[in-house]
Amino acid sequence: MPAVPARVSDRLPVFPWDRLEPYKATAAAHPDGIVDLSVGTPVDPVPALIREALTGAADSPGYPTVWGTPALRDALAGWVERRLGATAVAHANVLPVVGSKELVASLPTQLGLGPGDRVAFPRLAYPTYEVGARLAGAEPVVYDDPTELDPTGLRLLWLNSPSNPTGRVLGKDELRAAVGWAREHGVLLVSDECYLELGWEAEPVSVLHPEVCDGDFTGLIAVHSLSKRSNLAGYRAAFLAGDAEILGELLRLRKHGGLMVPAPVQAATVAALGDDTHVAEQRERYARRRSALRAALEGYGFRIEHSEASLYLWATRDEPCWDTVGALAELGILVAPGDFYGTAGARNVRIAFTATDERVEAAVRRLAG
């Protein structure tokens, strides 16, 4: 008999979005069409300068390098210094990756983790942290405060600020405490900062900021993505920054696996990171949509919790989350149930404001009755 992979259902939880399909069908039946606020996928155009860079590099018949072009590494290191406030960032401190979700799902495996190892992540969290642990055969562990974890067997500690789904931002003191704890116990700390440029009521700070890590990247990795800030979800453009020794090991492993960012996407990333204007313009779009939706939701009886950053409103009507999903689906509005992100979200829903202006206006009208 040929070898067959272990059943996915035996290794991983049910893919959460499949459970939303009946509610999506209900929302789609609305006479004015669905307003899909469930997935935080960009809907606005890719900025022209990025598309021009992509097409300008379209004639790239050879294999790209895993580490990226020198121009890409310059752009990554320069952005980390300029935007995150980090100091002395060299090429060895950055590594492009093929989208941040791929990285989150595969990092425990790439680090060589397995049975007997533990991976910790917030109690309310992006489900892929757990998926990555399970794919490696490691034990997933949730926390409320990372500094209160049992360090026994703990190899990888995920932070997520701004948070998906809650939009909560960790302050410098909280980040600094987590860094100190991780270093004291020899635990690799990886900070998922993909929403860092989308702070609304708080200013998110990177774990690589000198006031957090004292200018020392040892044992620290920050994960960044261009999906949200530059509308590049379709490009799969992301990167890591931090500890040169750890990134060097990941680079060597990824060379063996051929995990290469396509050459045109590398060129597009250089253009995107070199321009702040399009980021500011996109922030303004999201700010308008966020303000309109928040007011409409609060008028409809929702309470908004956290949500000081990111692309989501973390909302509740103090009822089971699937009841809320069902009620909004009847209005043609699709949202994500909070229990997708852990049992602690069982009475919340996550509402993305990534729909077009026209669809957001439709949602606001429906909520107003």
- CATH classification of the domain holding 359: 3.90.1150.10
Whether 238 maps to a domain, the answer reads: yes
**Number of neighbours of residue 299 by Cβ within 10 angstroms:** 12
DSSP state of 65: P
Strands (E), the chain: 35-36, 94-97, 118-122, 139-143, 154-160, 188-192, 220-225, 238-242, 303-305, 312-316, 333-334, 336-337, 349-352
What is the amino acid identity at position 18?
Answer: D
Specify the pTM.
0.94
Regarding whether 259 and 173 lie in a shared domain, the answer is yes
Asked if residue 60 belongs to a domain, the reply is yes
On whether both 339 and 265 belong to a single domain, the answer is: no
Q: Does the pLDDT of residue 13 top 80, yes or no?
A: no
Q: Which of 236, 256, 273 is the last residue of a domain?
A: 273
Does some domain include residue 91? yes
At residue 369 the predicted structure's pLDDT band, cuts being 50, 70 and 90, is confident
Does the residue 76 lie in any domain? yes
**Are residues 16 and 130 both part of a single domain?**
no
Helix %, strand %, coil % for the chain, to 5?
A: 45, 15, 40
Integer Cα distance of 274 and 116 in angstroms: 43
User: Residue 93: which CATH number?
Assistant: 3.40.640.10
Nearest to 264 by CA among 235, 238, 239: 235
Task: For the beta carbon of residue 31, count every other beta carbon within 10 angstroms.
Answer: 5
**Do 182 and 135 sit in the same domain of this protein?**
yes
pLDDT at 18: 83
Residue 218 lies in a domain: yes
pLDDT at 9 over 70: no
Closest CA to 229 of 183, 199, 251, 197: 197
Q: Is 242 helix (H, G, I), strand (E, B) or coil?
A: strand
| Confidence class for position 15, pLDDT limits 50, 70, 90 | confident
131, amino acid identity: V
- Residue 350 in tokens: 């996550």
- Let me know if residue 2 belongs to a domain: no
Q: What pLDDT was estimated at residue 290?
A: 98
211 and 144 assigned to the same domain: yes
Do residue 221 and residue 73 come from a single domain?
A: yes
Query: Which backbone phi and psi does 254 adopt, to 5 degrees?
Result: -70, -25
240 and 134 together in one domain: yes
Residue from 338, 349, 341 nearest 301 by CA: 349
Phi-psi sector, 175: left (phi>0), alpha (psi -120 to 50), beta = alpha
pLDDT score of 333: 98
Over 60: is that where the pLDDT of 4 sits?
Answer: no
Q: What is the pLDDT of residue 5?
A: 62
Please check whether residues 216 and 315 belong to one and the same domain. Answer: no
Q: What span, in angstroms and rounded, lies between the C-alpha atoms of 110 and 146?
A: 23
Domain range enclosing 19: 8-45+278-368
Last residue of a domain, one of 251, 273, 295: 273
Alpha-carbon span 134 to 107, nearest angstrom = 11
Q: Taking 90 as the threshold, does the pLDDT of residue 308 lie above it?
A: yes
One domain for residues 347 and 245:
no
Q: State yes or no: pLDDT of 2 exceeds 90.
A: no
CB 206 within 8 A of CB 85: yes
Does one domain contain both 94 and 70? yes
- pLDDT above 60 (res 345): yes
* Number of Cβ within a 10 Å radius of residue 63: 10
Residues 53 and 186 in one domain: yes
In a domain? residue 3: no
For 236, the token pair is 């799969």
Are 333 and 346 in a shared domain? yes
Q: What confidence category does residue 30 fall into, taking pLDDT thresholds of 50, 70 and 90? A: very high
- How confident is the model at residue 209, as a pLDDT? 98
Averaged pLDDT of the chain: 95
Number of compact structural domains in the chain: 2
Q: Are strands 188-192 and 154-160 parallel, antiparallel or unpaired?
A: parallel
Number of H helices, E strands in the chain: 13, 13
pLDDT band at 64 (very low <50, low <70, confident <90, very high): very high
Question: Omega into 16 within 30° of 0, i.e. cis?
Answer: no
The answer as to whether 106 is a domain residue is yes
Instruction: State residue 119's pLDDT score.
Output: 98
Which of 223, 238, 273 finishes a domain? 273
